[in-house]
Each structure stands twice: as C-alpha cells, then as structure tokens.
Structure 1
C-alpha cells in the first residue's frame, strides 16, 4: 500500500477531515482497504466521524463497500445509531437492501439496540423494508422484542415500526409472533401496542 492510501485510512480512522482532504488531493484511493477489508468511509462510519465521511462522500466513496464481516458504511449506521452519519450517507445513494452477516438490513440492528431517533429518521426519510426478514427469521419488530429490554426505547421503536406498517403478526421461524414473545417476556406495554395494532 502506498503512503497516501495509508494516510487516508489513518485520517479516516481519526476523523481528521483536513487530512482526509489532503490524502485525496495527493492521489489516495477512496476505496483502499485496511487489513480487515474496511474502506476509509467504513472507518468513518464505525467511529461516527461525520465531517471526514462528508469529504469522502463528496469524493465519490462507496457507502455499500463491505468488509470481511459484511459490514458497510451504510449498515454500520444501524449499529451506531448515528442519524447525522445516516444522512451524510443517504446523499451517496446507499443500497437499502444491503445485508449484514446475519442477513439483516440497517433497520434491524437499530431496532434491537434501541436507537429510537435513528429508527424514526430511517422510517421517515427512506422507503426501507419494515418487514425484511433476516437469516434468523426475525424482522425489526421481532428483534426489538426478542433482543430488547422492553423499556421505553424499545416501546417507542415498536410503536414507530407499527406506525410505519410493520406486519405485527408475522411470526419467527418457530411460528411465534412478536405479541407472543412480548407476553412471554412480560413486556406489557409492547404487548398492548401489538394487540391494538392486530
């Protein structure tokens, strides 16, 4: 790897937008990969380095470039829950159907992790598939109930997903619905939301 490419990776990892600009001006490749297959834009996304990411997006960096673990800049926003990064990457035209190593789209980890503002923005600003089913057989709604804690954030996410048109009675691969999971786990508020929507 040449020194300019390495400088770009380092600058992206630090979130140094000025150094990113300088490395690109010196001829660095926007799609250079580190030892784990991560591009500069993915490093920015993982670290929520919004300004450095904006420079890379302007230079044409790919929001869909996946690393050795199938993570991409776009998918990483669902993990971090960064609305600002999501909006920077939306300008680059990400593939909303791109799948992570679990076969999920960005909405699913965001719902599981309780990223309320991100889920709200994603549902409002994109036409992402609210009923996408990952390899585990779970939708965003199922994952919010199964892996969530039933608290305020997951209650809000369930409400947002229902309002966005999630199919509430879509079961997991064992035939168990989100309502049944909520009742089993004692998530009364989520169960009530699901009953009202059913």
Structure 2
C-alpha cells in the first residue's frame, strides 16, 4: 500500500470510529488501517470513538492494539479516557478501563486534568463512580 492510500485508509478509520458501525471499523482494520495512527489532523481513532461514546468501536480498536493511554491531537484533544469522562460517556469509559486506560493519568503531557477530574468537573457521578472503582480482575488459579 502506498503512502497516499494509507493516509486515506487512516482518515476513513478515524471517521468510522466516530460515526460508523463496528463492522466497518473492523473491516478497515483488516484492510491495514493502524489503530494507533492519527489522521492528518492528529486525531487518533480511539480518541474519536471515545468522544462520540462509540463503546463497540472503542472495544474493537483496543482489541486491535489501540493504546488507551496515548494522547490524541496537537494540544486541542488529549487522552481518550479524559474525553469520554468529560462528557459522561459511561459506555466508552467502561471499555477504556477494561482495555487498560489509567484514570489517574494526566493529559497534556502530564500537566492537564485526569479523567477523574474531568468527570468531577462535569458532574458526571455515574462516570466518576466507574473511574473510582478498582477493576475486577480474575483471581489466578
């Protein structure tokens, strides 16, 4: 795949992550789109899915290797978990936490708010409860 095709594929993945069905996201990933590569604006697919509360797409991207603790954008976006928490998107928050997102990680390279702080600021009590509850991990056998 040449560079131009790859850029178009990434753009389609970012758009599908926000507004497409999970099957479309999965198909683009199978076609070679990178779950961690941003589009031309610097937006990652996982950030876009998180801010739009597309929990199924978040789950698919994380399963494909998207880093839930990677920042998106060039200073105007941030961490996927912070984006979801800011808007009170419990479905996306739940999937990001299951995928290993750190609710205490600060965005803006460590100088910004955490997802917990975003949820508190927005008054999203259900989301705050999700962020404050330790994940349930299976006990070793």
Q: Same fold (TM over 0.5)?
A: yes
TM-score, structure 1 as length reference: 0.58
| Alpha-carbon contact 1:15-1:51 (below 8 Å) kept | no
Match for residue 123 of structure 1 among 132, 135, 140 = 132
**Ranges in structure 1 where 5+ consecutive residues have no aligned partner:** 127-198
Structure 1 runs (4+) greater than 4 angstroms displaced: none
Work out which of the residue numbers 73, 79, 101 in structure 2 matches 1:72: 79
Equivalent residue, structure 2, for 1:89? 96
Deviation at 1:36, TM superposition (A): 3.1
How much has 1:116 moved relative to structure 2?
1.1
Deviation at 1:84, TM superposition (A): 1.4
Q: Once the 2 structures are TM-superposed, how far is the Cα of residue 10 of structure 1 from its aligned partner? A: 1.8
The answer to which of 43-52 and 31-40 deviates more is 31-40
Match of 1:34 in 2: 39
Larger gyration radius, structure 1 or structure 2: 1
Query: How much has 1:115 moved relative to structure 2?
Result: 0.3
- From 86, 108, 114, the equivalent of 2:123 is 114
CA RMSD between the two structures:
1.7
Instruction: Measure, in 1, the Cα distance between the counterparts of 2:119 and 2:40.
Output: 27
Q: Given that residues 47 and 83 in structure 2 are in contact (C-alpha distance below 8 angstroms), is that contact kept between their aligned partners in structure 1? A: yes
| Matched residue count | 126
Q: Which runs of 5+ in 2 are unaligned?
A: 136-141
Matched residue, 1:103: 112
**In the alignment, what sits opposite 1:22?**
27
Alignment match, 2:138:
none
Counterpart mapping for 1:174-189 below 5 A: none
Q: Are the aligned partners of 1:33 and 1:39 in contact in 2 as well (CA < 8 Å)?
A: yes
Aligned to 2:64: 59
Say which structure, 1 or 2, has more relative contact order (CA 8 Å, 6+ apart).
Answer: 2
CA contact 1:107–1:119 (8 Å) conserved in 2:
yes
Question: 1:13 maps to what in 2?
Answer: 18
